[in-house]
Homo-oligomer: A and B are copies of this chain.
Amino acid sequence: MPRKLSALDPQRLDNQICFAVYSAAHAFNRVYKPLLDRLGLTYPQYLVMLVLWERDDVPVKDIGEKLFLDSGTLTPLLKRLEAAHLVKRTRSREDERQVLIALTPQGHALKDKARAVPQSILAASDCSVSELVAMKDEIVALRDRLNAVIGE
């Protein structure tokens, strides 16, 4: 069994882009952890806050579409954010099926405290902004192609 072939063996762990993505996601999470601990947020909670800092008072479904998460994940997460006094959940009056998520004053205020986070991540990446942007665009394009396949 020639050694060279292993570099092409699609069944080898090191040749799989998916494992690269999977393990990179975990590495990011470990870098974010100490930064987000200071804000009292987990990474998925931070993502929800990023969405809300861009636009407030949106139904759960909108958050789910932006983050690719469903109510099974978001409902308990949002309840925890509410328990932390960062958001408020209220049934929409126009459509009683929807629950609207709004930031509290503390939720708004947290945006400033979170401003340093992206810079710290950039530093940890040890990479130029333009390189990161190029990688991000490639990964997003791949993600979108994968998501397109899921609906068959």
Q: Measuring CB to CB, which residues of chain A are less than 8 angstroms from any residue of chain B? A: 10-13, 15-28, 30-32, 43, 47, 50-51, 53-54, 66-68, 111, 114-115, 118-119, 121-122, 124-127, 132-133, 135-136, 138-140, 142-143, 145-150
Query: Within the assembled complex, what's the spacing in Å between the Cα atoms of A82 and B148?
Result: 35
Q: How many copies does the complex hold?
A: 2
The prevalent SS among residues of A at the interface is helix
Q: Residues of B contacting A150 with CB < 8 Å?
A: 27, 30-31
Q: Which of B15, B19, B68, B132 contacts A17 (CB 8 A)?
A: B132
- Report the separation of the CA atoms of residues A19 and B21 in the bound assembly, to the nearest whole angstrom: 11
B24 and A143: CB pair below 8 A? Answer: yes
Contact A27 B68 (CB under 8 A): yes
* Inter-chain contact A32/B13, CB cutoff 8 Å: no
Q: Are A126 and B145 closer than 8 Å at their CB atoms?
A: yes
Interface core residue of A21, A43, A119 (most chain B CB under 10 Å) = A21
How far is B114's CA from A24's CA once the two chains are assembled, in angstroms? 24
Q: 5 smallest A-B Cβ distances: which pairs?
A: A10-B118, A27-B146, A24-B143, A17-B136, A20-B139
